[in-house]
Structure 1
Amino acid sequence: MNRLTPIGEDRLPLSGVRVMVTRARSQARELVEKIEALGGEAYEFPLLKMVPPTDTGPLDYAIGRLDSFDWVMFTSVNGVRFFLERMRQLGVSPDRMTGLVAAVGPKTAAELAKHGWTADVIPSDYVAEGMLTALQGRLTPGQRVLLPRADIARKTLPDELRRMGLQVTEVDAYETVIDGANAPEAAERLRRGEIDAIAFTSSSTVQHFTQVMAPYGLDGLLASVRIACIGPVTAETAKRLGLPVHAVAREYTVDGLLQALTANLGGDVHGTHI
Structure 2
Amino acid sequence: MSGLEGKRIVITRPAERTRDSVEIIKAYGAIPIVTPTIELKDSKPEEMINLCKMKNELNWLVFTSPRAIEAFFKYCKDIKSAQNLKIAVIGPKTRETLDKFDIEADLMPTDYTAEGLLESFEGFDIKGMKMGLPRTMVARYTLPKGLEDQGATVILADAYKSEMPDDKSKIYDLIDDILNKKIDIIMFTSPLTVKNLIKVAKEENKEEIIDIFKNKEVLVGAIGPITKKVLDAYGINPIMPEVYTFKNMLDKLVEVINK
TM normalised by structure 1 equals 0.86
Pairs aligned (count): 252
> Residues 66 and 252 from structure 1, CA distance in 2 versus in 1: closer, same or farther, beyond 3 angstroms?
same
SS class of match (2:208): helix
How far does the alpha carbon of each residue in 1:156-202 deviate from its partner, in whole angstroms, 9 at most, with x for none? 10011112221101111112121133222111101110011110111
Name the residue aligned to 1:6: none
SS class of match (1:248): coil
Superposed displacement of residue 80, structure 1: 1.1
Q: Which amino acid aligns with 1:57?
A: E
Superposed displacement of residue 132, structure 1: 0.7
Name the residue aligned to 1:260: 252
1:108 aligns with 2:100: no
> Residues 183 and 233 from structure 1, CA distance in 2 versus in 1: closer, same or farther, beyond 3 angstroms?
same
- C-alpha contact 1:150 1:173 (8 A) present in aligned 2: yes
Name the residue aligned to 1:247: 239
> Residues 243 and 34 from structure 1, CA distance in 2 versus in 1: closer, same or farther, beyond 3 angstroms?
farther
Superposed displacement of residue 58, structure 1: 2.2
- C-alpha contact 1:94 1:116 (8 A) present in aligned 2: no
Q: Take 2:193 and 2:200, find their aligned partners in 1: how far apart are those partners?
A: 11
> Residues 187 and 103 from structure 1, CA distance in 2 versus in 1: closer, same or farther, beyond 3 angstroms?
same
- C-alpha contact 1:67 1:98 (8 A) present in aligned 2: yes
1:201 aligns with 2:194: no
1:182 aligns with 2:135: no
Name the residue aligned to 1:131: 117
- C-alpha contact 1:87 1:93 (8 A) present in aligned 2: yes
Name the residue aligned to 2:13: 23
Q: Take 2:105 and 2:25, find their aligned partners in 1: how far apart are those partners?
A: 30
Name the residue aligned to 2:49: 60
Map 1:37-116 to 2 at 5 A.
37-53=27-43, 55-88=44-77, 92-96=78-82, 98-116=84-102
Superposed displacement of residue 93, structure 1: 4.6
Unmatched runs of 5 consecutive residues or more in structure 2 = none
Q: Take 2:79 and 2:72, find their aligned partners in 1: how far apart are those partners?
A: 12
- C-alpha contact 2:2 2:254 (8 A) present in aligned 1: no
2:227 equivalent among 214, 227, 234 = 234
Q: Take 2:210 and 2:128, find their aligned partners in 1: how far apart are those partners?
A: 51
Q: Take 1:200 and 1:97, find their aligned partners in 2: how far apart are those partners?
A: 39
Superposed displacement of residue 246, structure 1: 3.1
Q: Which amino acid aligns with 2:98?
A: L
Superposed displacement of residue 243, structure 1: 4.5
Q: Which amino acid aligns with 1:169?
A: I
> Residues 97 and 16 from structure 1, CA distance in 2 versus in 1: closer, same or farther, beyond 3 angstroms?
farther
How far does the alpha carbon of each residue in 1:12-70 deviate from its partner, in whole angstroms, 9 at most, with x for none? 430132211101111112112211221212211111221111x3222211111111111
- C-alpha contact 2:48 2:76 (8 A) present in aligned 1: no
SS class of match (2:107): coil
**RMSD of the alignment, in Å?**
1.7
- C-alpha contact 2:48 2:71 (8 A) present in aligned 1: no
Sequence identity of aligned pairs in percent? 27
Superposed displacement of residue 94, structure 1: 3.4
Q: Take 2:83 and 2:96, find their aligned partners in 1: how far apart are those partners?
A: 17
Unmatched runs of 5 consecutive residues or more in structure 1 = 1-10, 268-273
- C-alpha contact 1:105 1:126 (8 A) present in aligned 2: yes
SS class of match (1:125): coil
Q: Take 2:130 and 2:169, find their aligned partners in 1: how far apart are those partners?
A: 41
SS class of match (2:172): helix
Task: Identify which of structures 1 and 2 has the higher relative contact order when contacts are C-alpha pairs closer than 8 Å and 6+ apart.
Answer: 1
2:24 equivalent among 29, 34, 51 = 34
Superposed displacement of residue 154, structure 1: 1.5
Superposed displacement of residue 221, structure 1: 5.7
Q: Take 1:198 and 1:104, find their aligned partners in 2: how far apart are those partners?
A: 24
Q: Take 2:125 and 2:242, find their aligned partners in 1: how far apart are those partners?
A: 28
